[in-house]
Amino acid sequence: MAPNETVLVEVADGVARLTLNRPDKLNAFDETMHRALHAALDEARWDETVRAILLTGAGRAFCAGQDLAAVDPRQAAGEPDLGETLEKLYNPLIRLIRDIEKPVVCAVNGVAAGAGASVALACDLVLAGRSAKFIQAFCRIGLIPDSGGTWTLTRLLGEARAKGLALTGQPLDAETAAAWGMIWRAVDDDHLMDEAGKLAASLAAGPTIGLGLTKRAIQAAATNSLDAQLDLERDLQREAGLTPDYAEGVAAFTGKRPAAFTGRR
Ligand code: T3D
């Protein structure tokens, strides 16, 4: 993978580590970083040597959302069309993260604000350093939570907490985010990258197809009826049962040895 200056890409031991890299702007999204992240995720999606993705930010923040200097309405020629930015850049990014059938781990290394918080919460397993904060900053500038934020917050937290965060813009600390079930874990800042790296490495050594199908099933549960979900589980389990990793998993269990999954079909 070619490195890009706004998103650093490192692939090792089955993990693609993508680092948002505009630290002087707290990794706020401009169009270049958007395109670089999308391209890096897409490449990791189809690279068979990549079996897990780890997303983080350079410097003291994870991501401060949209680069507000890049879209200053006072500088714009005509009326701003923020719907177009979402349609063109943010929505495809969120859909891509959700559609990648490999685990996507997010290491929130500092503040995650606006769409930066939404991007983090679109990932499958979110770890955050104890000093990290999640800020629904949109209300401070007259916007609504986007990039799936209204959907994700409401599903993860329920309406009361989603509205509390989105209408007040109050920062939520990592410990409370974990206690509320918004993220997987809060860890000491000094251990964040180590813990996130270990988690991504263990996922990368897992039964990749089965993990990808699990992701698909859990995501579908948000909108499916129980009947539809039972049917989906039947179909996906049929698919999982045809993978060499299923045969290996059972052989390893009966042979009382660790499984050596390949992640292949
Ligand atoms: O197209 C569309 O616009 C639609 C899509 C919208 C999606 C969105 O994400 S809308 C929400 C946009 N984000 C925000 O409103 C957050 C803005 N940032 C902040 O509120 C604060 O920076 C933080 C709470 C995140 C962190 O505060 P603090 O005190 O730790 O840092 P700081 O001093 O405010 O920021 C440090 C630098 O980063 C500073 O630059 P400077 O003065 O040192 O040259 C600041 O301007 C820059 N920065 C921070 N966030 C952004 C940013 N520059 C551009 N855009 C940002 N979002």
Looking from the CA of residue 82, the nearest atom of ligand 1 is 1
Residue 4: the pLDDT is 55
Q: Tokens 């199908």 appear where?
A: 213
Pocket lining: 135 vs ligand 1, CB cutoff 6 Å: yes
pLDDT, one tens digit per residue, over 22-50 is 999 999 999 999 999 999 999 999 999 99
pLDDT at 217 over 90: yes
Residue of 24, 30, 32, 68 to test ligand 1 pocket, by largest number of atoms within 8 Å of CB: 68
User: How far is ligand 1, taken at its centre, from the CA of residue 264, in Å?
Assistant: 42
pLDDT at 2 over 50: no
Q: What is the mean pLDDT of residues 218-247?
A: 98
Pocket lining: 28 vs ligand 1, CB cutoff 6 Å: yes
Q: What is the mean pLDDT of residues 128-139?
A: 98
Residue 82: the pLDDT is 96
User: How far is ligand 1, taken at its centre, from the CA of residue 138, in Å?
Assistant: 11
Q: Tokens 């329920």 appear where?
A: 158
Report which of residues 76 and 179 the model is more confident about. 179
pLDDT at 109 over 70: yes
Residue 74: the pLDDT is 82
pLDDT at 149 over 50: yes
Let me know the angle formed at the C-alpha of 172 by 221 and 96, rounded to the nearest 5 degrees: 40
Report which of residues 191 and 4 the model is more confident about. 191
User: How far is ligand 1, taken at its centre, from the CA of residue 62, in Å?
Assistant: 11
Order of all β-strands in the sheet with 111-113: 61-63, 111-113, 133-135, 172-173
Pocket lining: 96 vs ligand 1, CB cutoff 6 Å: no
Q: What is the mean pLDDT of residues 190-219?
A: 98
Gap between the Cα atoms of 168 and 135, Å rounded: 10
User: How far is ligand 1, taken at its centre, from the CA of residue 111, in Å?
Assistant: 10
User: How far is ligand 1, taken at its centre, from the CA of residue 65, in Å?
Assistant: 7
Pocket lining: 27 vs ligand 1, CB cutoff 6 Å: no
User: How far is ligand 1, taken at its centre, from the CA of residue 137, in Å?
Assistant: 9
Ligand 1, atom 6, residue with closest C-alpha:
66
Residue 3: the pLDDT is 44
**What whole-number percentage of the chain has pLDDT above 70?**
98
pLDDT at 135 over 80: yes
* pLDDT confidence bin for 73, thresholds 50/70/90: confident
Gap between the Cα atoms of 118 and 183, Å rounded: 12
pTM above 0.95, yes or no: yes
Four-CA torsion 204, 207, 209, 214, nearest 10 degrees:
-100
Looking from the CA of residue 66, the nearest atom of ligand 1 is 9
pLDDT, one tens digit per residue, over 78-105 is 889 999 999 999 999 999 999 999 999 9
Pocket lining: 67 vs ligand 1, CB cutoff 6 Å: yes
pLDDT at 1 over 60: no
pLDDT, one tens digit per residue, over 151-177 is 999 999 999 999 999 999 999 999 999
- 189 backbone dihedrals φ, ψ, rounded to 5°: -50, -45
pLDDT at 72 over 90: no
Ligand 1, atom 2, residue with closest C-alpha:
82
Q: What is the mean pLDDT of residues 124-146?
A: 98
